[in-house]
Amino acid sequence: MVHWLKWMPLWCCHDSIGKAVGKSADTPESVASGEPTRIDDKTKIIDTGGTTAISFVTLSINQKVQEKLSRLGICNERDLVLHLPIRYEDETHLFPINHAPQGRTVQVEGVIVHNEVMLKPRRQLVCKITDDSGTLCMRFLNFYGSQIKTYAVGKRVRLLGEIRHGFFGAEMIHPKCRIVQKGEPLAVAMTPVYSITAGLPQKILSKLIQQVLNGPLNASLLAETLPDKIVRKYQLPGFEQSICILHHPPPDTPVDLLELRTHSAWQRIKIDELLAQQLSMRMHYRERRSRKAPNLPQKQTLCQTFQAQLAFSLTAAQRRVVAEISRDLASPHPMQRLLQGDVGSGKTIVAAMAALQAIDNGYQVAIMAPTEILAEQHFQKLSTWFEPLGIPVVWLSGGQRKKAKQMVLATIESGEAMLAVGTHALFQEQVSFYQLGLTIVDEQHRFGVHQRLALRTKGAQSQPDSMPHQLMMSATPIPRTLSMSYFADLDVSIIDEFPPGRSPVVTKLVADSRRNEVVARIQQACHQGKQVYWVCPLIEESETLQLQTAMETHENLSRIFPDLKIGLVHGRLPAQEKTDMMLRFKQAEIQLLVATTVIEVGVDVPNASLMVIENAERMGLSQLHQLRGRVGRGADASVCILMYQQPLSEIARKRLKIIFENNDGFEIARQDLHLRGPGEFLGARQSGIPMLRFADLEKDGALLTTAQSVADEMLNDYPQWAQRHVQRWLDDKMEYLRV
C-alpha cells in the first residue's frame, strides 16, 4: 500500500477507480444508480486564471463516485488538490516490538506464531506476533471469517497501531495490518490520511489526488498565484511546494509540525485561504463603494435641536461613532458600516442621529428590526424623539391591518413619511420609497444576505444608479479576529463605553432545587417597587411546549403572588397584545413579567432590575448575555439569577462559568468563539461569505494580519494576481459579491 503513495503514474486510473469504489459503495445507492455518466468534454480547460470549473475535466469518474466526492465538497480537479490530509501515518520506520515507544502510533513487523478465535470474554480474533525483540498480541473484536485464514501462522505482517499493555501482555487492538514479504521496502514518505465518506476509501481518494498532481492540469492547478515580490517579502514557501509537502511529506518532515498545522507548508495554505477571503471581501467592498449614493452632509439643524432636547449627553464613544457615520453619509458612495456595541451601550441614539442627518437632507430612512417587539419599541422611542421635531414616523409590520398598512404604504411612497420603522415587512414588494437615503438594520446577524439585498434594492427603485447608505448594528460583540476576517467587507465602528451611572449586573447561579428562595426574593423586590423579568426555559424541540411552560409558570406565579400584577408575553401572542403588554410593563403597571426568550433582543425597560432565567443551562452564551442585558439599564443595582437543573453537561458548566465570571460582552464573545466556533456569530451571514476550512482564527491571528497586508498590496499593485488568487480559492463561492 505504500507504493502508490509516490506520484502515481497515469496508468492506474480511470476504470480501476470507478470499479473499485463502485464495489465498496453502499448497496442501496448503487442499485438505485442511474446511468453512469462520463465526462468526455476534455476540451474544457481548468485555468486558475479564468474559466470556472464546476466538474472534472481530465479524470473520468463515474457518477456514483462523483456523488461521494461531492459529499466531501470535491467537484473538480482543483478541489482534489485542496483536499488536504487531516493527519499522517508514519510507515517509514519499523520499531522492534519490545522497544517501541508507548502512547503513539508505531509500526512493527513480525511473524504470526499463533492464531485463535477466542470466545471469552467476547468473540475475538487473537494473533501472536514475534520479532527478534519480543511478542505482541493483535486483537480484532470485529473481523471477517476470511481474516482468520489471511493471518495464518507463519505469515509475516506489518502492523500500524498503538501498543498497550493489557490482559494479554503487549497488544494492539484493531491495528492496520497487512501481509508483507521479508525485506519489503518501507514507505519513503509519511502516509496522508484524508477525510473520507462512506463508500469512498482512503486508497481511492489518495489515488485520485495523486493522479491530479501528476496529471495534465498540474501546471495550472499548482501555479503560483502570488507575485514574486510578495512571496519574497513575506518569506513564503511556494504554493506548489507546499501542496506537495502536505500530500506527500518527504521522509524528514517533522510530523508534529504537520499535525499541529504549524509547518511552513500549512502556513502558506492558510495564508492563501485567508488572503482569498480578504481579497474577495475587499473586492466586494470596493465594488460597492464605487457605486453612487446620495450625498448627505451634516446640516446641524435637526441634529442640534435634537441633542438640545435630549435628557442626557452622548458618551465619548457615541460621539466618536456618530462622527464616523456622519463622514460616511457625507460621501457620495454608499456607506457599509457595522456598528458594534454591547447590550445597553446606546446604539439606538446613534441610529437616530444618523437618521436625522439623512432626513435633514430630505431623504427617507428605513429602520429594520428582526422582531415585532423590538421594531415596535424602536418605533415608540423614535416617535417620541422625532415627532417634536416635526418628522413623520411610520410603522410597518406583517401583522398590521390591511387598511392601516395601505395608508402607511401611501405615505412612504409619496415621501411624506420620512422615517419608516418595521420588521421584514419593510422590504416586501409593495413597499416603495419616494427617496430612500439610508437603511439601518438592527441585530444584523438575524438577517440573511437576501433580506439585506432586498432592502438595498428598495433604494435603487427611486434612483436607479444610486444606492442608499447602510448602517448595520449588532449587540453581539464580535471578537476581533472574526471581525477582521468574516466582516472584512464592512467598515466597523465600536461603542466601547457604557452610559454613565450603570452598575454592573450581579449574576447568581442557583440550582433549581432552591426555587423557593428565588420566589421569596422576587416578592421582596416587587414590594420594594422594583420590576422583575421571569424568563421561561427555551425548549428548542417544541414551541408548543415552550408556550405551555410559559403559561404554567404564569399561572403558578399568579397563584403564589395573588397581590402582584403579573403579565405574560410570548412569541405566539398577537402583535398588538405583545406591544400592549410591553407598554404596561414599561409604565410599571405590571410588576412581574413572565416571558419567553422573545424579550431577548433590544427590550429596554430601565426600571426592571431583577431577572430570573429558568433552565439557564439550555441557553447559549450570547443569548444569556443578551437576556441579562435587559436589566442593569437604570440606576438601581441589578441582579440576574440563573437557575439551572442538575446534572449539568460539561459544556453547560463551562457556559455558566463564563457568564457568571464575565460582564464584558467582548470577553464573553471571545470565549464563546472558543467554545462554538464562528458559525454562531455569523448567523444568517454564514450563507453569504467564504468560510474558512484550514485557518483557525484563534490560533492563526498572526497569519490573518499578514493576509490583510498582502491583500491590500495585491489589490493596489497586482489586481490581476488578486483575481487569479480568488479564482483558485473561491471561484464557485463568489455569489455573495452581488449583494
In eight-state DSSP terms, residue 292 is: B
Q: To which residue does cell 457568571 refer?
A: 660
Closer residue to Mg ion (CB): 269 or 601: 601
CB of 701 to ligand ADP, least distance (A): 27
d(C-alpha 408, C-alpha 560), whole Å: 45
Closer residue to ligand ADP (CB): 347 or 724: 347
Segment interacting with Mg ion, rule: CB under 5 A, options 90-98, 561-569, 574-582, 602-610:
602-610
Please, are residues 361 and 436 in contact by the beta-carbon 8 Å criterion?
no
- Amino acid at position 71, single letter: R
Closer residue to ligand ADP (CB): 88 or 533: 533
Helix (H, G, I), strand (E, B) or coil at 291: coil
Segment interacting with ligand ADP, rule: CB under 6 A, options 112-120, 127-135, 339-347, 584-592:
339-347
Closer residue to ligand ADP (CB): 498 or 721: 498
Which parts of 224-263 interact with ligand ADP (CB under 6 A)? none
Options 48, 210, 211, 345; binder of ligand ADP; rule CB under 6 A:
345
Contact between 606 and ligand ADP per CB under 6 A: yes
Helix (H, G, I), strand (E, B) or coil at 48: coil
Q: In 394-532, where does DSSP find H-type helix?
A: 402-414, 449-462, 480-485, 515-527
Closest by CA position to 505, among listed 640, 597, 605, 401: 640
Q: Any idea what the Cα angle at residue 601 is, between residues 598 and 603, rounded to 5°? A: 90
Give which of Mg ion, ligand ADP, none residue 58 binds (C-beta under 5 to 8 Å, depending on kind).
none
* Cβ-based neighbour number of residue 295 at 10 Å: 14
Total residue length of the chain? 739
For residue 496, give the C-alpha cell: 466601547
| Binding track over 301-330 against ligand ADP, x by CB under 6 A | -----------x-xx--x------------
Which parts of 673-692 interact with ligand ADP (CB under 6 A)? none
For residue 9, give the C-alpha cell: 503514474
CB of 343 to ligand ADP, least distance (A): 4
Closer residue to ligand ADP (CB): 323 or 410: 323
d(C-alpha 273, C-alpha 690), whole Å: 10
Segment interacting with Mg ion, rule: CB under 5 A, options 11-19, 421-429, 479-487, 596-604:
596-604
Contact between 636 and ligand ADP per CB under 6 A: no
Give which of Mg ion, ligand ADP, none residue 499 binds (C-beta under 5 to 8 Å, depending on kind).
ligand ADP
Give which of ligand ADP, Mg ion, none residue 78 binds (C-beta under 5 to 8 Å, depending on kind).
none
For residue 639, give the C-alpha cell: 441582579
Helix (H, G, I), strand (E, B) or coil at 51: coil
Helix (H, G, I), strand (E, B) or coil at 32: helix
Q: Torsions phi, psi of 715, nearest 5?
A: -65, -35
How far CA 444 is from CA of 71, 439, 471, 599, in Å, comes to 31, 12, 9, 17
Please, are residues 632 and 654 in contact by the beta-carbon 8 Å criterion?
no
Contact between 72 and ligand ADP per CB under 6 A: no
Helix (H, G, I), strand (E, B) or coil at 172: strand
CB of 345 to ligand ADP, least distance (A): 4
Closer residue to ligand ADP (CB): 604 or 617: 604
| Binding track over 491-510 against ligand ADP, x by CB under 6 A | --------x-----------
Contact between 468 and ligand ADP per CB under 6 A: no
Options 161, 175, 294, 344; binder of ligand ADP; rule CB under 6 A:
344
For residue 82, give the C-alpha cell: 485542496
d(C-alpha 322, C-alpha 304), whole Å: 13
Segment interacting with ligand ADP, rule: CB under 6 A, options 68-76, 208-216, 340-348, 382-390:
340-348
CB of 587 to ligand ADP, least distance (A): 15
Give which of Mg ion, ligand ADP, none residue 349 binds (C-beta under 5 to 8 Å, depending on kind).
ligand ADP
CB of 499 to ligand ADP, least distance (A): 3
Options 349, 610, 669, 711; binder of ligand ADP; rule CB under 6 A:
349
What is the Cβ-side half-sphere exposure of residue 577, based on CA atoms within 13 angstroms? Answer: 8
Contact between 4 and ligand ADP per CB under 6 A: no
| Inter-helix orientation angle 621-628/665-676, to 10° | 160
By CB under 5 A, the count of residues binding Mg ion is 1
Contact between 437 and Mg ion per CB under 5 A: no
d(C-alpha 241, C-alpha 524), whole Å: 71
Segment interacting with Mg ion, rule: CB under 5 A, options 451-459, 559-567, 597-605, 659-667:
597-605
Closest by CA position to 117, among listed 157, 159, 145: 145
CB of 478 to ligand ADP, least distance (A): 14
By CB under 6 A, the count of residues binding ligand ADP is 18
Close Cβ partners of 580 (under 8 Å, ≥ 6 residues apart): none
Q: In 215-339, where does DSSP find H-type helix?
A: 218-221, 228-233, 239-247, 255-259, 264-289, 301-309, 316-329
Segment interacting with Mg ion, rule: CB under 5 A, options 132-140, 205-213, 239-247, 600-608:
600-608
Number of residue whose CB is nearest ligand ADP: 346
Options 68, 270, 347, 452; binder of ligand ADP; rule CB under 6 A:
347
Options 175, 537, 602, 683; binder of Mg ion; rule CB under 5 A:
602
Contact between 475 and ligand ADP per CB under 6 A: yes
Contact between 346 and Mg ion per CB under 5 A: no
Q: To which residue does cell 395608508 refer?
A: 407
Options 171, 324, 604, 614; binder of ligand ADP; rule CB under 6 A:
604
Give which of ligand ADP, Mg ion, none residue 192 binds (C-beta under 5 to 8 Å, depending on kind).
none
Close Cβ partners of 676 (under 8 Å, ≥ 6 residues apart): 620
Contact between 36 and ligand ADP per CB under 6 A: no
Options 85, 161, 192, 341; binder of ligand ADP; rule CB under 6 A:
341
In degrees to the nearest 10, what's the CA dihedral of 608, 610, 611, 617?
Answer: 150
For residue 385, give the C-alpha cell: 424623539
DSSP for 183-208? TPPPPSSPEEE---BTTB-HHHHHHH
d(C-alpha 603, C-alpha 595), whole Å: 12
Closer residue to ligand ADP (CB): 479 or 602: 602
Options 110, 334, 346, 459; binder of ligand ADP; rule CB under 6 A:
346
Give which of ligand ADP, Mg ion, none residue 488 binds (C-beta under 5 to 8 Å, depending on kind).
none
Closer residue to ligand ADP (CB): 138 or 321: 321
| Binding track over 179-208 against Mg ion, x by CB under 5 A | ------------------------------
Please report which helix (H) or strand (E) contains residue 436, including its range: strand 436-441
The residues of the shown chain that bind Mg ion, judged by CB under 5 A, are 602
The residues of the shown chain that bind ligand ADP, judged by CB under 6 A, are 312, 314-315, 318, 341, 343-349, 475, 499, 602, 604, 606, 633
